[in-house]
Structure 1
């Protein structure tokens, strides 16, 4: 029994996970098979697992899985495995990074007539992103005490009220920049904040639908430019959908190549250290590696309008 089940698992998993022949799983699972994720508590049928594997393999086409050990005890078994692959296509909203990933897990199975009836796993496909250093803000998006992520604002403030609330917050104006190959990319962002001074950490929040987002996600460094009161044309350009936002923009490269805009009130270049997924946006946590400050007064933004900070009166 031990040798037969060991061989079946190795053969079927190689066919399904390594070659994408997901129909092979039907020889190893009962018709009423159910798979339960220990982490999320979610369950899926065999058909859902097959689709999950297809999506994983599309994003990690060279995925290879090694069954490290199988321990059988009567009608129960534990399967320990390791998978490696390269992130080549968009996966769970994350653009391809080209990074190699290795992830490990274990499956605890209950068998019926030598086939798997129920499987409790320590791993789900989001672990691939975690192994790449990309985390989801599950706790922030979950209902208190349930761990269940919700999509609506039911029982919470109306989205329009939240928009009005956010518009009342007075901020500076930044342009976040990077390069895609030799091409400079950038977009206007007001969701910027300093995280700490020691070590020097900053964060920016970028909408996933931005045309600059894939380039930013794949980059190791980015630039953050605090616009001055003389750069109203610049903010209009970088808030637009112009094909080449740098066509009439003067800039110079930071030490690691990030575009730093001439005429800015201040600019820095930072190394991207963490990427947190938060529904429609990604939060980039970055360690500052270079900074420049000028005497130019910064631009101020509030409720859809831009202001010259030099005209502000102290309290």
Structure 2
């Protein structure tokens, strides 16, 4: 029988969460003509009909309130080698878009150049979940590239290995 232990701290829980690899996304839009956005590794496909994805966003985020009411959001699935862009987009201070190549999309959406996929979305619903919000985003248009995704696992960026 597996010897399971109680959750004793947030770091203990983070260690367990870090055992599961995840892709990294950026959700971005123009706000008063200025690109705003953030990195999110809690991206999940949800539904094909209607086409929905989800992101988990900390309730303390100062960026999400700027993005949630935009007509369109650009969701970029970051690609292998975009580690620096991810770190910039997840920083708490300074210009997150400094040295990050981006392209404008329809209705003020913003996409990160060179990503693995781009999804033009709008907020479908938002669900409270502990210290986070689950944002359900409806996909309106998309494009994919044959570029391997950026993978986050064990608190580090990783690369997929060919089988």
Q: Does residue 205 in structure 1 map to residue 59 in structure 2?
A: no
Q: 1:230 to 1:248 in 2, by over 3 A?
A: same
Q: What is residue 157 of structure 1 aligned with on the other side?
A: 7
Q: What is residue 88 of structure 2 aligned with on the other side?
A: 237
Q: Does residue 179 in structure 1 map to residue 30 in structure 2?
A: yes
Structure 1 moving runs of 4+ over 4 Å: none
Q: Does residue 249 in structure 1 map to residue 100 in structure 2?
A: yes
Question: TM-score, normalised on structure 2?
Answer: 0.87
Unaligned runs of 5+ in 1: 1-155
SS at match of 2:147: coil
The higher-RCO structure (CA 8 Å, 6+ apart) is: 2
By how many angstroms is 1:265 displaced?
1.0
By how many angstroms is 1:302 displaced?
0.3
> 1 or 2, which has the higher helix percentage?
1
In 2, the alpha carbon distance for the partners of 1:181 and 1:207 equals 23
Q: What is residue 76 of structure 2 aligned with on the other side?
A: 225
Question: TM-score, normalised on structure 1?
Answer: 0.47
Unaligned runs of 5+ in 2: 1-5
By how many angstroms is 1:218 displaced?
3.0
Give runs of aligned pairs for residues 37-116 of structure 1, distance below 5 A: none
Over the aligned positions, Cα root-mean-square deviation in angstroms equals 1.7
SS at match of 2:68: helix
